[in-house]
Amino acid sequence: MKITIIGLGVIGGSLGLAIKHNNPRAIVAGFDEPGKIISALKHGAIDYGVPSVPDSVKDADIIFLCTPVKTILELLPIVAAHCKKNAVVSDVGSTKGEIVRAAKGYFRSNGIFVGGHPMAGSEGKGIEYADALLYQNAAYVLCADSRLRKRIPSFLTLLQTIGARVLFLSASDHDKIAAAISHLPQLVAVAMMNMIEKKSKKHSGYLQLAAGGFRDITRIASSPYGMWRDILESNSTEIKSIVNEFAELLSRFGADISSPAKRGGFAHRFKNAKVLRDAIPKNSKGFLHPLFELYVSVDDRPGVLSAMTTALFKSKINIKDIELLKIRDGRGGRSDYRLIQNAVQIWRNLF
């Protein structure tokens, strides 16, 4: 099987690594800028690079378009004109309606197009952040009806071999759901940070106290706009609808807070929110990696941090982020090295 990946960033690079790791007999070709092709070769994500899109797809059995949405739309007619008749072509775009509609006009006699969206990613950018395990247990949406599914058995098998959990949705349903569970949270996080930015100019306490829940909710505000520009444009109708719905809900919350008679309704809202939040599978992957947090109580004494980091080093665990909480001079939770070792074992069990 010959597979071509167009776009060798985190998603495309991880796809190449996953395919080569789980399908050693597959031949993976890649197309991107020359420098990115060289990096992908060094990381082992592809077997060889190709200098042009037509050359990269002409002999491919499966073709992945791993670029931003606008670039995917530009690639569709080129790929359709040069791919094999029975080649399966799929994209990884974060919105599906515009892409699927455009593809129907191009893939009539050449190629079999399947709209796709792997619900996995990374806050990092570039092949350096590619991960062969990125798709393990990750939801992978395909816009394919029952008739189309019968034509792409090898493609479905390939996705299963890399550990993806395939979910079939229409392009319309995908964009509605993505607007609610991905695009809205992104805009909320950005709005919250912009609001606090204005307030922090008048009082520094806003940023000084911006930890805990606020920090968790706004984590995705660090996502680069370049990735979101095409998403906001291509799914603008659904995003506008969900933003308006959310704004109405917040307005209702604000009104109810001011009314003693309605304030009691928040108990029911909080209970419902907790039940539904607890029902979300803790080991499932979404648009970003799940965030695991490990809390360790220790004595406030010299050398305790060194003992912790040494234990992690010996277990070959990399520290992505570390924060000191509830600091009290000369005081702290009771702990010893055995607790640190137990914490490392808990960390390992998470994976």
At 245-299, the pLDDT tens digits run: 999 999 999 999 999 999 889 999 999 999 998 887 765 555 444 455 677 777 7
In CATH, what number does 174-279 get?
1.10.3660.10
DSSP 82-111: HS-TT-EEEE--S--HHHHHHHHHH-SSS-
pLDDT at residue 323, rounded to an integer? 72
pLDDT at residue 284, rounded to an integer? 59
Amino acid at 61: D
**Pure H helices in the chain:** 10-22, 34-43, 53-57, 69-82, 97-106, 146-149, 153-161, 171-178, 184-200, 205-208, 212-217, 225-234, 236-257, 260-263, 265-279, 304-314, 337-350
What's the CATH fold of domain 2-170? Answer: Rossmann fold (3.40.50)
Low-confidence ranges of the chain (pLDDT < 50): 287-290, 329-337
Domain limits, the chain: 2-170, 174-279, 304-350
pLDDT at residue 208, rounded to an integer? 86
Amino acid at 64: F
Give the contacts of 242 (CB within 8 A, at least 6 positions apart): 176, 179, 180, 183, 184
pLDDT at residue 244, rounded to an integer? 98
Cα torsion 93, 96, 98, 100: sign: positive
The long-range contacts involving 210-217, CB below 8 angstroms and separated by at least 24 positions, are: 217/188, 217/189, 217/192
Cβ neighbours of 102 (radius 10 Å): 16
Residues 232/239, Cβ–Cβ less than 8 Å: yes
CA-to-CA dists, residue 327 to 11, 293, 330, 332, angstroms: 40, 18, 9, 7
pLDDT at residue 255, rounded to an integer? 93
Could you give the CA distance from residue 254 to residue 129 in angstroms, rounded to a whole number? 42
Helix/strand/coil for 140: strand
